[in-house]
């Protein structure tokens, strides 16, 4: 899933108006983050954006494909990311509207994930190790 430096820089320029966006290499591809929330995924020079119930229909209406990969066991694994319609790469204002929806989806998922984590109390006493 290599990502060319040119495509990575092209996307960074397009997404710059969103503000605090970072692109980090991961698993041979790259993740696109807004703060700590990953809202985009680049694989094989293809951009996939985070979806949830608020924007999934937009992608399905465009015939976008969901990001999947085959695990070492041969199982097909699906992620909550869909391929950004290629036409949006030539329509920066509309791309930003779609990207903002994906940022919102990622932030919502991040909040839900952090609210499920058990919180440790600083005053709780630990049992001594045996």
Q: How far is CA 61 from the centre of its chain?
A: 20
- pLDDT given at position 129: 53
Which residues, including other chains, have CB under 8 Å from residue 96's CB and lie 6 or more apart? 14, 15, 17, 18
- Ordered by start, the domain boundaries in the chain are 5-115
Nearest alpha carbon to residue 41 among 128, 117, 105, 90: 105
- Helix ranges (H only) for the chain are 5-15, 56-61, 92-116
Which residues are registered as beta bridge partners of 38? 33
Contact 41, 27 (CB under 8 A): no
pLDDT, one tens digit per residue, over 51-75 is: 999 999 999 999 999 999 889 999 9
Share of the chain above pLDDT 90, in %: 71
- Architecture of 5-115 per CATH? 2-Layer Sandwich (3.30)
């Amino acid at each position: 899933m290599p990502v060319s430096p040119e495509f990575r820089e092209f996307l960074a320029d397009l997404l710059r108006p969103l503000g605090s966006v970072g692109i980090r290499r991961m698993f041979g591809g790259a993740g696109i983050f807004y703060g700590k929330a990953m809202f985009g995924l680049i694989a094989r020079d293809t951009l996939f954006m985070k979806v949830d119930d608020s924007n999934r229909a937009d992608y399905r209406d465009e015939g976008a494909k969901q990001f999947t990969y085959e695990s070492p066991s041969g199982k097909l694994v699906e992620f909550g990311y869909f391929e950004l319609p290629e036409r949006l790469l030539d329509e920066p204002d509309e791309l930003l509207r779609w990207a903002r929806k994906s940022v919102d989806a990622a932030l919502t998922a991040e909040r839900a994930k952090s609210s499920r984590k058990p919180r440790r109390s600083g005053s709780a006493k630990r049992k001594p190790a045996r």
